[in-house]
Structures are given as structure tokens and as C-alpha cells.
Amino acid sequence: MPNNIIYQGAEAILTKTTYHNLPAVQKQRIPKSYRIKEIDTPLITYRTKEEAKLIIEARSAGVPVPLIYDIDQKNGILLLEYLSGPRIKDILNNLENSVLETICQKIGKNIAMLHNHDLIHGDITTSNMIYQDTQIFFIDFGLGSKTTELEAKGVDLHVLMEAFESTHSQKTHCFSWVMDGYRTHYTGKSKAVEQKIHEIVKRGRYR
């Protein structure tokens, strides 16, 4: 893998680059060979545009996200601010509880601010959070959406709960701190969202 490639997944390639001498990240969606071009190209254009809109709306909602420097919708490219801080995934297991509690409550606050504006991240894991300048930046809104549905908000939080259980099995108590932050800042009925999480957990058990 070339040195400038940060990550290569099924949906996109992230490459470190520059924008007017500023460090930047280029996110390019990967064309799918199993889809005909007449379908694939408009789909890539649409998803690129939608992700950019979600990032912009998240910033307007007060959630720390990378700046968008440029967009090439046709080729499925987003040029984003490079965040030099570590992923939460890489540091969480080694933090003291006092620091952890503060970080987790900030995570909960950020999720609440997204949900207050009906913004769904779609893949809230500790891999998609960067810790920089005491802030928690949310990245990768590629699976995100905008909806008023309570189910989507419950799923958003349930994905993070599962991430704690699988990736941070010694720190599963952290999710309760996330919910503390969420309850404090969510302007809707947080109990209704929590009930959705419980329902999703039960559905998973009985599959």
C-alpha cells in the first residue's frame, strides 16, 4: 500500500494530500464493477453530495467535523481537512476513568447535537472519531442520512454500544457515560431513544 494511502475500504480510498499547502485528506469513492456505469456514476455523485451536505449540517449543529476544502461530485471525491489527532479507538483502552468519563460525555453530547437536527451518522464507532485539541471530531458520514425516525437514532447509538462491547470489552461501562452526555444535550425525549436501543438489543437476541 503506498505511503500516502491512509485507508482503503470497500467503499472508498482515503489518501493524505495537500490543499494550498495545508495537509488534507482525499476521500474517493470506488466505482463498482458489478454495477453498470449508467447507474454507478450517478450513485457515486449522489452519495458524495449527500455526505458533503451532512458534514456541513453537522458543523452548523455545533458538532466538530473536518472542514470541506473541495468537492468533485462526478468523480466521487471529497477533499477534507486533515486531522492529526489519534482515533478514539487507539487511545480509549489506555485512558484513566476520569479522562474517559469526560471524553465519553463529549461523545454523547455530539451525538445528541446531531440527533437534535435529525442527522444520523450511520456508523458511530470509535474508529470514526478523532481526538484533537480536547475535542471529539466525527468523521466518515458516508452511511449517514437525515430523518426524524426514532429507530434511526436508536440504531446510531446501538452501533456505538456494540463497538464498546467488541473493540473495548474492558471499557463497556463507558457507554453509560455516553448516554449521560446524550441525555443532557438531547432536546427530544431521550427515554424514547433509550427504549429503542433496548428494543434493538432484544431483536438481536431473538434472531
C-alpha cell at 146: 437525515
Secondary structure class of 79 (helix, strand, coil) = strand
123 is catalytic: yes
Q: What angle do CA 27, 68, 86 make, to 5 degrees?
A: 65
Name the active-site residue from 40, 70, 123, 133.
Answer: 123
7 backbone dihedrals φ, ψ, rounded to 5° = -160, 140
CA atoms of 163 and 119, how far apart (whole Å): 20
Phi-psi sector, 159: left (phi>0), alpha (psi -120 to 50), beta: alpha
Label residues 146-170 b or e (16+ Cβ within 10 Å = b): eeeebebbbbbbbbbbbbbeeebee
Q: Contact, 145 vs 152, CB < 8 A?
A: yes
Q: What residues act catalytically?
A: 123
